[in-house]
Structure 1
Amino acid sequence: MTRIYAWLLLLPALVLLAAFTHWPAVSTVIDSFFSAPKGARKAVWVGLDNYRGMVEDPVFWKAVVNNLWFAGATIPLSIGLALAMALWVNERIAGRTFLRMAYFTPTVLPMIAVANIWLFFYTPQYGLLEQFTSLLGLPPHNWLGDQRTALACITVVAIWKEAGFFMIFYLAALQTLNPSLREAAAIEGASRWYFFRRVQWPLLMPTTLFVLVNAVINGFRMVDHVFILTRGGPDNASVLLLYHLYEVGFKFWDTAYASAITVVLVGVLASVSLFQVFVLDKRVHYK
């Protein structure tokens, strides 16, 4: 009777999990092997045609390259900045509460609002960045309309928003460390850098793994900022995988091809996350 009662308590959560997570995932895999239904024409089995089309799609590979550059910049920079901010606000400094609030504020702002704020910064002629560069005597520049700078501008916005979120985890981990460790290091004459490198950093490795998993996922699910700032332009210079997926599925209504891209994207992210959790997890715990 107790076992039945336990399963009944779990039933609502299991139904929601199956209906909104497991079944959509299975349905997406199935749809990737069919053509996209259009009007009165029903979906038909096409096998691996959607995956072949993906391999031959130059926009898809452009999005892959852009996303690798984007993730390669946002992941280490946002984690490094978050750690530096956490170490700073963990010290006894004036205005520590205000600094913590200021660093965390970008995290609680809606992503669309953040993108619109930075859109004003990057606006040609009268944007805040243009105002600053004009004071230095530099010529005006269309930051979001230039293929050389569009992706970098989106990367800066992502780092600015994510660093404060990751800082909270590092700050919480720092506050759980035993204060006697710092006292012992001070008695031994260890410098702050030596104490961080030999004591704090090894003890923060489990938190770093958790943050790293989230940073990798965030690096490949960016769509809001791209939609507001550049729409993937100019000439696909800032298109990312999830935005390309959005365009294929909701702009061109090729849901079958979009399903194939989703399967590949989820498969890669799942593989990376499993590697981080099951392989790196054995190396991060300080003994």
Structure 2
Amino acid sequence: MHASTARLSLARQHAITGWLLVLPAVALLAAFTHYPALATLWHSFFSTPKGSRPARFVGLENYALMADDPVFWQSLWNNLWFALGTIPTSVGLALAMALWVNGKLSGRGLLRMAYFTPTVLPMVAVANIWLFFYTPQYGLIAQVTGLFGLPSVNWLGSRETALPALMLVTIWKEAGFFMIFYLAALQGIPPTLREAAMLEGASRGQYFRRVLWPLLMPTTLFVLINALINAFRLVDHVVVMTRGGPDNASTLLLFYIYQVGFAFWDTAYAATLTVVLLAVLAATAWIKFNWLDRRTHYQ
């Protein structure tokens, strides 16, 4: 009985120690993530206070207004297309670059640095660089296409090309960032696995599909979640390059929230839009975790 009591006391001490160790992280997460999310949900049921008029409870009125808002639906649709265009491309490109620079290449250190350089550049600096590339008449792209006699295109001023132009900038900046995670994962895989696969007569494609890709699934899950969050939190490039134009063709959801909250000063409606953004992110992340977790091996 005494030994059992001692073991129970030791287990309790370990549990208390564990909770004390994670308490700072839990407190910060609750203060800066969970509480703001709940407060945003609460404010979405109230009107915006203006001057001496306090906020009043309006129930689902803001959500009804959002359902009839064509700009909201346009921004949500744009964001979905933006995510579909940037996430698979940037992740696939990152994996391809990681596989390349992980091999025995001369000057691979410089090549890795070249791929990673866009990641360390500030978002506003990247937007201004590409703004010069896209500028019609005297931009870099216009100068190159002019050498072949092609007409100048206003990439950011056309409804058909504004959003794809933003997608290209995002892919250029994020692929090198995701490459680092894949490169670290590849370097953690024992080379004996490849040697054993080659001895069994497996081709490169079979080795990648049957051995390498399953081992990279934890990294892929992490990268996909980060890519999803990045696709829905982009606002810097939109502010600098298009401001949502032309005719809301490049307006993304977070940029519209920024407009409503800080340009139109309708904080209640901005809170409502933020709730929808959080719901979209949570639902998509939940689907990804449940779908990919079955295909993920952590050992």
TM-score of the pair, normalised by structure 2: 0.90
- Offset at residue 184 of structure 1 (A): 2.2
- CA drift of 1:123 comes to 0.9
Query: 2:93 corresponds to which residue?
Result: 81
**Structure 1 residues 22 and 123: alpha-carbon distance in aligned structure 2, compared to 1, 3 A threshold:** same
How has the CA–CA distance of structure 1 residues 201 and 64 changed in structure 2, closer, same or farther, with 3 Å as cutoff? same
Is contact 2:214–2:295 with CA below 8 Å preserved after alignment?
no
CA distance in 2 between partners of 1:217 and 1:231 (Å): 20
Cα 1:247–1:92 shift into 2, 3 Å: same
Say whether the 8 Å CA contact 1:169–1:207 is kept in structure 2.
Answer: yes
Query: C-alpha displacement at 1:219, in angstroms?
Result: 1.2
Residue of structure 2 equivalent to 1:264: 276
What's the offset of the Cα at 1:9? 6.5
| CA distance in structure 1 between the aligned counterparts of 2:25 and 2:205, rounded to whole angstroms | 47
Farther-moved stretch of structure 1 (176-185 vs 1-10): 1-10
What corresponds to 1:56 in structure 2?
A: 68
CA distance in 1, matches of 2:220, 2:31: 33
Q: Deviations over 1:111-164 (max 9, x none)?
A: 111111111111111111111111111111111111110001000000011101
C-alpha distance in structure 2 between counterparts of 1:197 and 1:156, whole Å: 28
1:68 matched residue in structure 2: 80
Deviates more, 1:21-30 or 1:276-285: 276-285
1:43-95 Cα offsets, whole Å, 9 max, x none, are 11110010011110000000111111100010100000000000000000111
Distance 2:207 2:265 in 1: 56
Given the alignment of the two structures, is residue 190 of structure 1 paired with residue 206 of structure 2, yes or no?
A: no
Residue aligned with 1:163, SS: helix
> Could you tell me how far apart the structure 1 residues matched to 2:24 and 2:226 are?
27
3-state SS of paired residue (2:85): helix
**Equivalences, count:** 287
Instruction: Indicate the percent of aligned positions where both proteins have the same amino acid.
Output: 67
Query: Aligned partner of 1:81: which letter?
Result: L
Cα displacement (A) at 1:13: 4.6
**Structure-2 change in CA distance of 1:4 and 1:197 (3 Å):** closer
Check conservation: 2:45, 2:58, Cα contact below 8 A.
Answer: yes
Query: Offset of 1:223 from its aligned partner?
Result: 0.7
Counterpart-to-counterpart distance in 2, 1:227 and 1:282: 39
Mean CA deviation greater in 160-169 or 182-191: 182-191
Does 2:140 match 1:96?
A: no
8 Å Cα contact 1:202/1:286 also seen in 2: no
Amino acid at match of 2:102: N
Q: CA deviation at 1:23?
A: 2.2
Question: Structure 1 CA distance, aligned partners of 2:290 and 2:244?
Answer: 35
Question: Pairwise mapping of residues 167-246 of structure 1 onto structure 2 (< 5 A)?
Answer: 167-246=179-258
Deviation, 1:227, is: 0.7
Q: Classify 1:154/1:16 alpha carbon distance in 2 versus 1 (closer, same or farther; 3 Å).
A: same
Q: CA deviation at 1:18?
A: 3.3
RMSD across aligned positions (CA): 2.0
Alpha-carbon distance in structure 1 between the residues aligned to 2:165 and 2:277: 24
Structure with greater Cα Rg: 2
SS in structure 1 opposite 2:202? coil
Q: Structure 2: how far apart are the matches of 1:277 and 1:215?
A: 14
- Taking the aligned partners of 1:92 and 1:7, their CA distance within structure 2 comes to 46
SS at match of 2:295: helix
Q: Give yes or no for the alignment of 1:107 onto 2:119.
A: yes
Report the counterpart of residue 286 of structure 2 in structure 1: 274
Q: State the 1:186 CA deviation.
A: 2.8
State the SS of the aligned residue for 1:60: helix
Instruction: Look up the equivalent residue of 1:112 and give its one-letter code.
Output: V
Q: 2: distance between equivalents of 1:242 and 1:125?
A: 31
Determine helix, strand or coil for the equivalent of 2:51: coil
Q: TM-score, normalised by structure 1?
A: 0.94
- What stretches of structure 2 of length at least 5 have no aligned partner? 1-11
